[in-house]
Amino acid sequence: MNDVLTMDADRELAAQLCAFIDSEVSLDPDTPVKPDTDLLTTGLVDSLGAMELVHFLEEHRNIDIDPVDVTIENFGTVNSMVALATRLTSTA
């Protein structure tokens, strides 16, 4: 996969994640999620929401996310989730 395609795929995944969080995870209708929104300190994603995001990423990228990778650093923003998915896709 060349870099341009990766970037497009990443942008698409980021958009899908934002839409998914807005519609299925977030309970705050006034704050649409952006790729760099801090999801954790704002309380947008709780412990159950985090598991939904893990499943979403696993299905959309056909990857397995090891529990040791489900961390604050990797799930703090949509951008960091996309970076994790891309890293796991390229090493799969």
Partner 1 sequence: MTSLPAASSPTTLAGLVGRAAALRPDGEALIGLNRSFTWPEVHDRTARLAQLLVAGGVKKGERVAVLRPKGHESFEAVHAILQAGAIMVPLDPMAPAAAAAAVLADAGVIALVGHAETIKRAKPWDGNGPDLKLILATGSTESIQSDVAGSGISLVDINELANYPLPERLPVVTLDDPSYLIYTSGSTGTPKGILHTHSSGLAYARCAVEIHQLNQHDRLAAMTGLHFDMSTFELFAIPLAAGTIVEMSEPHLRFPASFTERAAEQRTTIWYGVTFLLQQILERGALETRDWSSLRSVLFAGEVFPAAALRALMEALPNTVFENVYGPAEVNASNVYRLTRPPADGESVPIGPGCGDAEMLVVDETEQPVPPGTKGVLWISASTRMREYWNRSDLTAASTRRREDGPDWYVSGDVVTKESDGTVWFHGRSDHQVKLRGIRVELEGVESTLADHPDILHAVAGPSGYRPGTLAATVVLRPGVHLDVRAIQKWSANRLPPVAIPAHIDVAETLPTTPSGKIDRKRIRIALAAAKETA
Give the binding site for partner 1 (CB under 8 A).
Answer: 23-24, 27-29, 40-41, 43, 45-48, 50, 66-73, 75-76
Separate counts of helices (H) and strands (E) for the chain: 4, 0
Residue 77: other Cβ atoms inside 10 A:
20
Nearest approach, Cβ of 18 to partner 1 (angstroms)?
Answer: 16
Nearest approach, Cβ of 19 to partner 1 (angstroms)?
Answer: 13
Nearer residue to partner 1 within complex by CB, 41 or 91 = 41
Distance CA 9, CA 51 (A): 22
Nearest approach, Cβ of 32 to partner 1 (angstroms)?
Answer: 13
- CA–CA–CA angle 79, 77, 67 (5° rounding): 95
Nearer residue to partner 1 within complex by CB, 6 or 42 = 42
Nearer residue to partner 1 within complex by CB, 11 or 34 = 34
Nearer residue to partner 1 within complex by CB, 9 or 76 = 76
Burial class (CB in 10 A: 0-12, 13-18, 19+), 75: buried
